[in-house]
Amino acid sequence: MTTADSRRRVAIAAVLTASFMMAEVTGGIISGSLALLADAAHMLTDAASLILAWVGYKLAERPADPSRSYGFGRMKVLAAFTNGIALVALACWIVWEAIHRLLDPAPVLGGIMLWVAAGGLVVNILAAWVLHGGDKHDLNLQGALWHVIGDLLGSVAAIAAAIVILTTGWTPADPILSVLVALLVLVAGVRIARQSGHILLEGTPEGLSPEDIRQDLVAHIEHVMNVSHIHAWALTESKPLITMEVTAAEGACIETLRRDVKARLAERFDVSHATVEVVSKPC
């Protein structure tokens, strides 16, 4: 799968999500359903995240320049962090509104709510299908997919609330189930903000323990006496970077050793961008 294919899939999902979001807002206002409005708000943030993901793909294609030696690859990470914080704020708003609805119940038109939520479910299934067919190793695309899955579950909650209201007339089902949607939004927001924040703080990528790297290189690369000053971080979710200092045994060919270390990092740890300084064994 290419970046162009991922970008196209994200664009299609964004159009589907944004288009139906407007219909869901209208339906929520007419029916008085907080669950629909909560799901619409979730779809709004997801549409924004999909658009930002698309922009990230476009910017990532721009070459590096003297002011940005790594290019614009981190735009996707910045967008993800912003979306994560927005999702957390959105979840808090939904819970706040739900509490007010429980204290001061309002009439809900279950029929309109049911049909709009069912339409949202169909749209979310289509968007999830489009994204699911993309590159399974593209973390940006997979993040967009999980946003859509959250929308899908929100539509299911709204349908359930509509059925309860139509069959029993119990309107508190609407704010209660909207809180379930809020919890889904909160979990997604915290996860995305934590993961993207870890990257922005130059945190060590998962699976790249400096100690494990040191032990592996000393054990498997001939003439490596020691490895120190190991720093591992990530430019994006899928592009880890490493710098290190390797102490070579006496008489070792420094250039050959440097190539062997880089090859081992690529083979064992899937790191293709490594800066390796090789020094001779101290006197």
123-167 residue pLDDT tens: 889 888 888 766 655 666 766 777 777 778 778 888 888 898 888
161's CB contacts (< 8 A; 6+ apart) are 33, 35, 113, 173, 174, 176, 177, 178
Which of these ranges, 32-46, 73-87, 194-208, 213-227, has the smallest mean pLDDT? 32-46
CATH classification of the domain holding 153: 1.20.1510.10
Residue 92 burial (C-beta neighbours within 10 Å; 0-12, 13-18, 19+): middle
178 and 266: one domain?
Answer: no
More confident residue, 221 or 55: 221
**β-bridge partners, 278:** 246
Full-model pTM: 0.77
Give the span between the Cα atoms of 175 and 181, in whole angstroms.
Answer: 10
CATH of the domain at 258: 3.30.300.30
- pLDDT, residue 136, reads 59
Whether 111 and 20 share a structural domain: yes
pLDDT, one tens digit per residue, over 15-59 is: 888 888 777 788 778 877 776 776 677 677 778 778 877 887 777
- Same domain for 189 and 227, yes or no, is no
Q: Is residue 218 located within the same domain as residue 91?
A: no
189 & 216 share domain: no
Average pLDDT, the chain: 83
Question: Do the domain assignments include residue 179?
Answer: yes
Which of the listed residues 156, 175, 200 is the one where a domain comes to its end? Answer: 200
Q: Is residue 44 included in any domain, yes or no?
A: yes
Q: For residues 197-203, give the mean pLDDT.
A: 92
**Residue 192 belongs to what domain range?**
3-200
Tell me which residue has tokens 């440097």. 258
Do 195 and 258 belong to one domain?
A: no
Specify the number of domains making up the chain.
Answer: 2
Looking up tokens 């970077």 gives 241
Q: What is the pLDDT of residues 248-266, one digit of tens each?
A: 988 889 999 999 999 999 9
Residues 121 and 242 in one domain: no
Q: Of the candidates 218, 280, 277, which has an alpha carbon nearest to the alpha carbon of residue 248?
A: 280
For residue 150, being part of any structural domain is answered with yes
* Mean pLDDT value across residues 199-224: 92
Check whether 1 has a pLDDT greater than 50: no
- H/E stretch holding 195 reads helix 173-200
Do residues 170 and 270 both lie within one domain? no
Average pLDDT of 1-26? 78
Q: Which helix (H) or strand (E) holds 241?
A: strand 239-248
| Co-location of 177 and 220 in the same domain | no
Looking at the fold, whether 223 and 192 belong to one and the same domain comes out as no
Are the CB atoms for 107 and 101 separated by under 8 Å? Answer: no
